[in-house]
């Protein structure tokens, strides 16, 4: 499994919004602070908007802000919106029993275990945790 640029940038954008919760933030401001193209952020915003992660204010002084407090967003949630499944192998993207080998696949339990660890880890980190760790210097290594 490899997290794409879209997933990494979505996470950075959401962290930026969590850091600047004093009103609506323009994509231009986020793009400048994060060193990400505004055009690319527009694509990401569309995905996040469809998942009701953001509030939008159009027009002059418009922009985006988090729809919920930072502690409601996990890294796993954000990555699933932008990446789709976080499954480490294709057979876990859907129903593993659809694979013709699933009934006798000796490696399937390994991949299921890895998927569980990935999801538990990423779902255990919220935007608030990231902001707090920035101040406290937390190490997320497993």
| Whole-structure pTM value | 0.89
Give CA–CA dist 100/40, Å, rounded.
Answer: 39
Percentage of the chain exceeding pLDDT 70: 95
Name the residue among 118, 108, 135, 138 with its Cα closest to residue 18: 135
pLDDT at 62: 87
Give CA–CA dist 75/124, Å, rounded.
Answer: 8
141 CB contacts (<8 Å, ≥6 apart)? Answer: none
CATH architecture of 5-136: Orthogonal Bundle (1.10)
Q: What are the structure tokens assigned to 59, written together?
A: 């027009």
pLDDT at 104: 87
CB crowding 6-32: b at 16 or more within 10 Å, else e: bbebbbbbbbbbbebeeebbebeebbe
């Amino acid at each position: 499994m490899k997290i794409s640029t879209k997933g990494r940038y979505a996470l950075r954008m959401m962290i930026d919004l969590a850091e600047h919760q004093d009103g609506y933030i323009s994509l231009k401001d986020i793009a400048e602070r994060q060193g990400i193209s505004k055009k690319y952020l527009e694509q990401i915003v569309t995905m996040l908007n469809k998942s009701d992660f953001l509030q939008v204010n159009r027009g002059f002084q418009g922009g985006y802000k988090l729809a919920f407090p930072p502690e409601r967003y996990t890294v796993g949630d954000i990555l699933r919106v932008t990446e789709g499944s976080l499954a480490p192998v294709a057979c876990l993207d859907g129903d593993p029993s659809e694979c013709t080998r699933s009934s006798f696949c000796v490696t399937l339990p390994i991949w299921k275990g890895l998927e569980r660890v990935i999801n538990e880890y990423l779902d255990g980190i919220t935007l608030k945790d990231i902001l707090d760790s920035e101040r406290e210097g937390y190490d997320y290594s497993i």
